[in-house]
Amino acid sequence: MLDDKLTSIKGVGDEINKKLSILGISNIADLINYFPKRYEDYSIISSISDLRPGVVSLRGKIVQAKGRYVRRGLHITEAIMSDNSGSVRIVWFNQPYRANALKPNQEYYVSGNYELSNSRFSIMNPSCELVSEFPANTARILPVYKLTKGITSNQIRKLIKQVIGLIRSLEETLPKELIDNEKLISYSQAIEYIHFPNKTSDIGLAEKRLGFEEVFELSLASLLNKKEIDLLNSFKIDFKQDLAKKFVDNLPFDLTSAQRKVVWQIYQDLNQEKPMNRMVEGDVGSGKTVVATMASLMAISEGFQVAFMAPTEILARQHAQTIADLLDPMDMKDKLGLLVGSMTTKEKDEVKKRLNKFEISFIVGTHALIEENVSMDKLGLVIVDEQQRFGVAQRKKLMSKAQKMPHFLSLTATPIPRTLALTVFGELDVSILDEKPKARLPIKTKIVSPNSRKQLYEEIVAELNNGRQMFVICPLITDSAALDVNSVEKIYKQMKEIDFKKYNVGFLHGKMKGVEKNQIMEDFLNRKLDILVSTTVIEVGVDVPNASVMLIEAADRFGLAQLHQLRGRVGRGTDQGYCYLMLSDSSKPSPRLRALVSSNDGFKLAELDLKLRGPGAIYGTLQHGIIDFRIARLDDVTLIKSARNAAKNFIDENIDLDKYKELSLKVNKLRIVTNLN
């Protein structure tokens, strides 16, 4: 029944079916699991004599209804509704069927907005249905759904009402003991309440049950993965104190205490025969590459190979250069290799041959590392930078090249709130680099009104005249009629021809070919360009120490976490960095922009972003869309903790997951999505 097509429901023909499929609704199961985005309360029934402007619901009889065309393309249906206290005018636009559909001497519920129109108070375009014990679109708290053209919330509610009997007979998906312990309502009751709450508290009960289940399922999947990983065999890599000391002594800077702590955690992991599965989470400029190189040092010295995978070729080349400089004093530079897509076939073949012969023991690259003919028989450690930007299948491919399960180290510059890290990356041990090098100056951040652009440019010219460089970030590539914001093309032209014509200006965006993008970034890195106008394609990882200015156009259009990432592209050298947040207009800046000005702490800002915009904001940054929390709020620490503890108890008590069919299906799907085996 749940797998039945939507066309089995009355009112769903081919046209409606196609439109619902755009929303991801393909069968009855999809329909009942299509949750509302918000609610409107029409549950209070008013007397007509007590009506006040605003949202209202009435119960009465339609005593008069007639329709007419007032001009081509505009039809008006006018009706009079009466109850014991009086009468009120009702108006519908472009619904010519209304007059004939309304039955005389029948009671109706009407819900809509009571407002002044053409010098008369009327109820405009209301929902209207016969009085019954279970109205779908009037006289109750009404769910509002995300829609597509040609589909209304009314339609979705009516369709779900037709399968209410099926909803009430849904089987339980969680163990009874768990439901009792956590004081949860049943699954069927939660689905009914989420679509048809009788009172506001019903919504809370439904969200608690369904949100708990979402977190419980993901927690169970990640803990089962972790348990399975812990049973696998990996290469035991010993810690060599003299080697670590020599490396640290040759660094041109002091390690932070956070780096020392995280490196020690990694060394302890590597010294086990079970595979390390650790994520290092560090704000921009916190020194993740040094930590990864120190981890690699031990693997190389033990005769193993290390693969370091980066999301872009620019970043891969940059990492290779940084790591080469770090390994040079250790006489290990010649063991390093680079493999990226733009290399010639001859160059790639030479690198692959050296890998086969084990002449290269540390390979840095992009997706080119997972090609079929790349062999790494002695792969002992896999490092993936910004790992959420790779599909799980790609990471598995890389790790499958080893004789045993290699140790896995993930690096991310996206500060992730702790509740989110524990939930989304539950199978990983998490280390945090929460310090920056002492020499790194905090970036000065300033909100700028478009009216102050001229004065701002004068400040920027002073930096450029001192030999510094500037990033300019725009939300669009080309101008849009729908959005009145500056685009890459527009700003590039203005700067090149008018405002900064004395300087070398370039532009960059995601639609350009890879070779072209790489060349432009190379030119910027080599100071052939003073100004680079770009979209957010430069957001992650790119290190241009000479860039001291970041100008973000229409900064109010970006999320807080993303703005912080962009800000981190400057001030990476010893000079002061500046970030200017240009507003779209002269309106008051948002709380998130003011927060960015007051703090350089990515973790605090990520927590605030989670509260302001919800988990979707972080998921967007993480590109982790497969795991979709539609109900659970990741700032609900109590719910997260309860669900994770319940998942841990489930495993500790060796409860048979297969006893719960629906739960087992969902958990196993999530295991496949997140597992790296």
Model confidence pLDDT, tens digit, residues 289-307: 999 999 999 999 999 999 9
Q: 528-556 pLDDT, tens per residue?
A: 999 999 988 775 556 788 999 999 999 98
* H or E element in which residue 38 lies: strand 38-41
1-42+140-169 architecture in CATH? Orthogonal Bundle (1.10)
Q: 211-220 pLDDT, tens per residue?
A: 999 999 988 9
**What local confidence, expressed as pLDDT, does residue 425 receive?**
65
Tell whether the model's pLDDT for residue 677 goes beyond 50.
Answer: no
DSSP per residue, 151-209? --HHHHHHHHHHTHHHHHTPPP-S-HHHHHHHTPPPHHHHHHHHHS-SSHHHHHHHHHH
**What local confidence, expressed as pLDDT, does residue 539 receive?**
53
Q: How many CB atoms lie within 10 A of CB 534?
A: 28
Q: How confident is the model at residue 624 (pLDDT cuts 50, 70, 90)?
A: very low
91-95, 558-562, 658-662: which has the minimum mean pLDDT? 558-562
Please compute the mean of the pLDDT values over residues 54-81 and round it to a whole number.
91
pTM: 0.71
Q: How confident is the model at residue 620 (pLDDT cuts 50, 70, 90)?
A: very low
Please compute the mean of the pLDDT values over residues 505-518 and round it to a whole number.
84
Q: 583-612 pLDDT, tens per residue?
A: 988 888 888 899 999 988 887 887 777 666
Tell whether the model's pLDDT for residue 635 goes beyond 80.
Answer: no
The domains of the chain are located at 1-42+140-169, 44-137, 241-271+287-412, 444-599
Q: How high is the mean pLDDT of the chain?
A: 87
CATH superfamily of 44-137: Nucleic acid-binding proteins (2.40.50.140)
- Asked whether this chain's domains 1-42+140-169 and 444-599 adopt the same fold, the reply is no
Q: How many CB atoms lie within 10 A of CB 500?
A: 20
Place of tokens 């940054």: 621
**What local confidence, expressed as pLDDT, does residue 183 receive?**
96
**What local confidence, expressed as pLDDT, does residue 623 receive?**
41
**What local confidence, expressed as pLDDT, does residue 617 receive?**
45
CATH class of 241-271+287-412: alpha beta
Nearest to 558 by CA among 617, 611, 480: 617
Burial class (CB within 10 angstroms; exposed 0-12, middle 13-18, buried 19+) of 61? middle
Burial class (CB within 10 angstroms; exposed 0-12, middle 13-18, buried 19+) of 70? exposed
**What local confidence, expressed as pLDDT, does residue 537 receive?**
77
CA distance 615 to 565: 17
Q: How confident is the model at residue 403 (pLDDT cuts 50, 70, 90)?
A: confident
Tell whether the model's pLDDT for residue 390 goes beyond 60.
Answer: no
| Contact call for residues 296 and 306 (beta carbons, < 8 A) | yes
| Contact call for residues 460 and 549 (beta carbons, < 8 A) | yes
Tell whether the model's pLDDT for residue 373 goes beyond 90.
Answer: no
Secondary structure E strands in 248-349: 277-282, 305-309, 336-339
CA distance 413 to 400: 26
Q: What is the DSSP letter of 496?
A: I
* Rounded (to 5) percent helix, strand, coil in the chain: 45, 20, 35
81 phi and psi, to 5 degrees? -110, 140
Please compute the mean of the pLDDT values over residues 264-269 and round it to a whole number.
96
Domain 444-599 in CATH 3.40.50.2300: no
